Structure 1
Amino acid sequence: MEYRVEMFWAGLILIAVLVIFTLGKSPIFRVDRAGAAIIGAVATIGTGVMSFEQATAAVDFKTIIILFSMMIIVANLKLAGFFEWVGEVVCRQVTSKRQLLFATIISSGIMSALAINDIICLLFTPVVLLVCRKVSCNPLPHLLGVAMASNIGSAATLLGNPQNILVGSLSGMPFVSYFSTACPVALIGLIAAYTAIACFYRQELEGRLSVSETSSVTIHMYLIIKSLIVFVLVVAAYMVGYDLALVSCLGGAALLITRRVKPNKVYSSVDFNLLIIFIGLFIIVAGVESSGLMTYVFSHMSLSGFNNMGLFAAVTLILSNIVSNVPAVLLMKFFIPLEHAEQWWKALALFSTLAGNLTISGSIANLIVVEIAKRDHIDVKAWDYFKVGFPLTLLTILLGVVWLSYVR
């Protein structure tokens, strides 16, 4: 395959956007992550990497609908005082900061195994922020716990995240077969996440919790029950096979039919910056694929050792952090060995998910946590994430390699 100028532009745009996503903003201009996504998408079209029609076709509008609809459900829960109510319950049950971290990691991990981790982060991050504010503790380690545990927990099932759903669809692998293999790795990974965060933030996690403020927000139990019923029905309908985009938008639309809540209050709680980031990333990553850059890179690599689990894990880890998890799966599917194919599909799902803990931009779940925290004026820096995520990712990937090499 010959090198083309579109490959250069696609690679340059991707690198520039990833730098801004990692730093949180441009080191030169006043450009944040949402701005970088917009500029990168426009540059992808402007440099001829993709046409406008190709760019619009590259946007996965189902994902945007799912996120927007779930934001409406979360907004209703927020306005009803659900997060304050949960915060009060947690404050009564948890007595130390380490217990709070452990509860956060276990809850985020288990819930992310049952539903898409992006949605869990969307729902759970505001709860953690509110609890941390109530008990006057540093929210940073607990936010890291939400993000990292959501990635690890989602690796346990084929329903936990978009790339695992894709792997399940492409491979036809039985749900139980994957779960029995991936669950032990995920459980040990959650314990490793707690240990790593507790080690790096041991000073912040010392001491008992002391509630510094009481809730002054009125709890609207009717609206809480109504919103939770809608949320549970959406997840249940998805788990039995209905299209998530359809059931989530039906759920969001149902909650907008109300005499109690002003629509503008709901819309003001929707994080449009996050939706813009998603749209921009779809176009930028699609530009890298359509330019042929990744195919060109792979064509100049020696693939003779791709039947080695360690090399397979390393390439999946790197690729997942360059082009994101789902595109990495779409590229790596061509290198699944025919012999023991199911085992390699399991490896692809597991490694592409665990790779999300390497960097702050390694998974969309991370960005959701970071952007929600930013709205609360809490800045999660790339180094804060990387110093924990790097050793944790290497450990869990190594565990996965050893486990998959000996378990059939």
Structure 2
Amino acid sequence: MPFDRSLPQKTPKLVDWGSLSLITALIITSKGLELSGVFNRLAPRLVERANGSSRRLLFLLLPTIALSSALIMNDTAMLVFIPLVVALSELSGMDKARAVTLSAIAANVGSALTPIGNPQNIIIWREYGLGFFAFIGGMLPFVFAWLLLLLLFVLFTKEETLSVEFLPPVAFRKGLFIISAVLLGLNVYLGETGRHELSIALTLLAFLLLERDVLLSFDWALVLTFAFIFIDFNELSTLLIKAGLSLPTGGVSLVLASAGLSQLISNVPATVVFLGSRPSWLPLAVGVNAGGTGIIVGSLANLIAVRIARVSLRDFHRYSVPYFIVVLVISAGLILAFNF
């Protein structure tokens, strides 16, 4: 059964350069999509369709953020959408803390669907040699349930009447959008065929020749952050195994353990730690992605959202923690029901 596929034995190495190359290429490509203005142009149209209802706006906005995160990564989606959510809240009187927190949850949920939606999925996708659509097929029942739960949360939120009078026009750079979209598809293909170093080389070359401002505005310190994560937590995983500590390798125990560790060290490092025990890929992916919806340190996307919006941790956790608890129950139930 493909869901039980375990990590093959590999020679230990200081840094996983293949995963780091693919992650960097996809983040740069996501930056290109962000700068093209395609998502900022879409959002005002959603506001117009909300017809003054905060609940209706969230029903439109959150699936849009989730879908965008599946394509451009959750961290990038927060950089794109959170400034807009904050501006809308200030203009319309919508509860900013609620809107920002639910937006961060939507980004983490949507990004869980695809192998390019977030760094931990990229790592799992590459390490296990999974097909692009095989990964989506495994995660689809969980993401569908998580998104339904999020919309139920919206259904029970307080309705507010919006008073948006003016939304500034947003420029759309069609050429940059086309280049970024083509590179996104190319990087997915190269990632699935194992040519990760070629993906970063072609991405850098294309933007250097055609849209240099994407490279100039890219946060290169983020690449160093991921490099240190691979060094430090690969070593931690090795030390734990040598010390005789037995980490879960499948089932509900792996989901709960990886989700729990994500609350302490974030979900990307948690993924690297558990890879050392060579677990089944699906429970690991479910656990670390569910972990991103909990407390603020669970996902970098949460930190980005709170930092941009200046939302208090108390207000953020007022919505995220109850959601996380219910998500864990649902995920454990699905794992048991389908014997993943």
* Range into which the TM-score falls when normalised by the shorter chain: 0.7 to 0.9
Report the number of matched residues.
317
* Gapped regions of structure 1 (runs ≥ 5): 1-53, 258-262, 338-343
How big is the alpha-carbon RMSD for the aligned residues of Structure 1 and Structure 2? 3.6
Looking at structure 2, the residues matched to 74 and 307 of structure 1 have their Cα atoms a distance apart, in angstroms, of: 37
The aligned counterpart of 1:90 is 46
Looking at structure 2, the residues matched to 238 and 281 of structure 1 have their Cα atoms a distance apart, in angstroms, of: 19
Looking at structure 2, the residues matched to 138 and 225 of structure 1 have their Cα atoms a distance apart, in angstroms, of: 34
- CA drift of 1:327 comes to 2.9
- CA drift of 1:317 comes to 1.4
Q: CA-to-partner distance for each residue in 1:123-150, whole Å, 9 max, x for gaps?
A: 3334434444443423332222221112
Looking at structure 1, the residues matched to 228 and 86 of structure 2 have their Cα atoms a distance apart, in angstroms, of: 32
Relative to 1, partners in 2 of residues 1:226 and 1:126: Cα closer, same or farther, differing over 3 Å? farther
Relative to 1, partners in 2 of residues 1:238 and 1:142: Cα closer, same or farther, differing over 3 Å? farther
- CA drift of 1:225 comes to 1.8
Please, which of 204, 213, 221 is the counterpart of residue 249 of structure 1? 204
The aligned counterpart of 1:40 is none
Q: CA-to-partner distance for each residue in 1:93-151, whole Å, 9 max, x for gaps?
A: 11210111121221122232344323333333344344444434233322222211121
* Gapped regions of structure 2 (runs ≥ 5): 1-13
Residues 30, 72 of structure 2: 8 Å contact kept:
no
- CA drift of 1:395 comes to 1.8
Looking at structure 2, the residues matched to 171 and 330 of structure 1 have their Cα atoms a distance apart, in angstroms, of: 13
Please, which of 253, 258, 261 is the counterpart of residue 316 of structure 1? 258
Q: CA-to-partner distance for each residue in 1:137-184, whole Å, 9 max, x for gaps?
A: 233322222211121122223232222222222223344444333212
Looking at structure 1, the residues matched to 68 and 34 of structure 2 have their Cα atoms a distance apart, in angstroms, of: 16
The aligned counterpart of 1:386 is 317
Looking at structure 1, the residues matched to 205 and 312 of structure 2 have their Cα atoms a distance apart, in angstroms, of: 36
The aligned counterpart of 1:112 is 69
TM-score (norm 1): 0.65
Spell out the pairing of 1:225-304 with structure 2 (5 A cutoff).
225-241=174-190, 245-250=200-205, 252-253=207-208, 256=211, 270=217, 276=221, 279-280=224-225, 282-283=227-228, 286-287=231-232, 289-290=234-235, 292=236, 295-297=238-240, 303=246
1:333 paired to 2:279:
no
- CA drift of 1:302 comes to 5.8
The aligned counterpart of 1:122 is 79
Relative to 1, partners in 2 of residues 1:345 and 1:214: Cα closer, same or farther, differing over 3 Å? closer
Q: Residue 45 of structure 2: SS of its match in structure 1?
A: helix
TM-score (norm 2): 0.76
Q: Which amino acid aligns with 2:200?
A: A
Looking at structure 2, the residues matched to 379 and 354 of structure 1 have their Cα atoms a distance apart, in angstroms, of: 24
Q: CA-to-partner distance for each residue in 1:350-387, whole Å, 9 max, x for gaps?
A: 1111111111121122223334x2xxxx3122222222
The aligned counterpart of 2:5 is none
Indicate the structure (1 or 2) with the bigger Cα radius of gyration.
1
Q: CA-to-partner distance for each residue in 1:6-33, whole Å, 9 max, x for gaps?
A: xxxxxxxxxxxxxxxxxxxxxxxxxxxx
